[in-house]
Amino acid sequence: MTTTVPHRDRRSFLKHSAALTLGLTFLGRLGHAAAPVPADDEEGLLTIGPLKGYTPQIGTLVSMLNYNRDTIVRAVKSLTMEQLDYLHDGHANTIGALAMHLAAVEKYYQINTFEGRQEFSAEESKLWHAPMSLGKDGRASIKGKDAPYYLDLLGSVRAHTLEEFKKRDDKWLLAKDPVWSKPGEPVNTYWKWFHVCEHESNHRGQITFLKKRLPGAKVDDGE
C-alpha cells in the first residue's frame, strides 16, 4: 500500500531536511559545528529536525527527546497515587518508580556529559540512588508520591538539559569520550543522549504494560 504524504507535511519535511544537510555540510568542511539555525514556524512534536536556539544536530536530538517526553507525561499525568504505587508482582517496578528512573538516568547523563563526572556525589545519591537502581531499593522507597511530584522532577531535570544544550554545539555532541570508548568501539556524546531517548521509549512500553494491568483497567484487545 502506498502512503501519500500531505503536501504541507512534505514541504515541512523537505525544509527541515535541507536545513540539517546544510548544517552537516558546514560541519564537515569547517571542522566545527555550525551556528544555531532558525527553524520555521511549523515546529511541533511530529516534526523531527533542527530547532530554534540549538545547533542542527542538537536541535534534532531535542526534537526527539521532546516527543518521547510528551508520551511519558500523557501516560502518567492522570494516574492516582495508588495507581502509581501499584506493584504488579515481586519482580516488577511501579509506574512511579519508572517515571523517577527516567529522571535519574537523565540526571546521570547530565553530570557525565556536562561535567565529566562518572558517579553521583554523595549528596546527589540521596535522591537518585534508588530510582537509578530500581529493583529492591526502588520498591522499598519510591512510593507515596502523586503524579505532579514525578512530573515536576522530570520537568526540572529536562529544563537543565535544554539549558545546557543551548550552550553547546555539534562538535561537542559528536566528540568521542576517551573514558567510555574502547579499541574499535568509540562512544560519542551523541550516543549517550540517543540512549537517554531510546531508554525513555523502552520504559514507556513498560508503563503502558503496567497501566493495562492496573486493578479495574479496561481490557483493550486492539493493542
Task: Give the per-residue pLDDT at 218.
Answer: 79
Task: Give the per-residue pLDDT at 124.
Answer: 98
Q: Is residue 222 part of a domain?
A: no
Q: Is residue 168 part of a domain?
A: yes
> Domain range for residue 63?
7-211
Q: Is residue 146 part of a domain?
A: yes
Task: Give the per-residue pLDDT at 16.
Answer: 45
The amino acid occupying position 211 is: K
Task: Give the per-residue pLDDT at 217.
Answer: 83
Q: Is residue 129 part of a domain?
A: yes
Q: Is residue 216 part of a domain?
A: no
> Each residue of 131-142: pLDDT tens digit?
999 999 999 999
What is the CB neighbour count within 10 angstroms for residue 54?
A: 23
220: which DSSP letter?
-
Query: From the first residue on, what is the mean pLDDT of each consecutive set of 10 residues in the chain (223 residues)?
Result: 41 43 40 50 84 98 97 97 96 96 98 98 98 94 97 98 98 98 98 97 96 86 52
> Each residue of 60-99: pLDDT tens digit?
999 999 999 999 999 999 999 999 999 999 989 999 999 9
Tell if the pTM clears 0.75, that is, is over it. yes
Task: Give the per-residue pLDDT at 43.
Answer: 75
DSSP secondary structure, 174-204, as one string: H-B-TTT-BTTB--BHHHHHHHHHHHHHHHH
- The proportion of the chain whose per-residue pLDDT surpasses 70, expressed as a percent, equals 79
CB-neighbour burial class of residue 18 (10 A; exposed 0-12, middle 13-18, buried 19+): exposed
Q: 78 with 147: CB under 8 angstroms?
A: yes
Q: Domain count of the chain?
A: 1
Q: Is residue 220 part of a domain?
A: no
Q: How many helical (H) and strand (E) elements, i.e. helices and strands, does the chain have?
A: 9, 0
Please provide the average confidence, as pLDDT, over all residues in the chain.
86
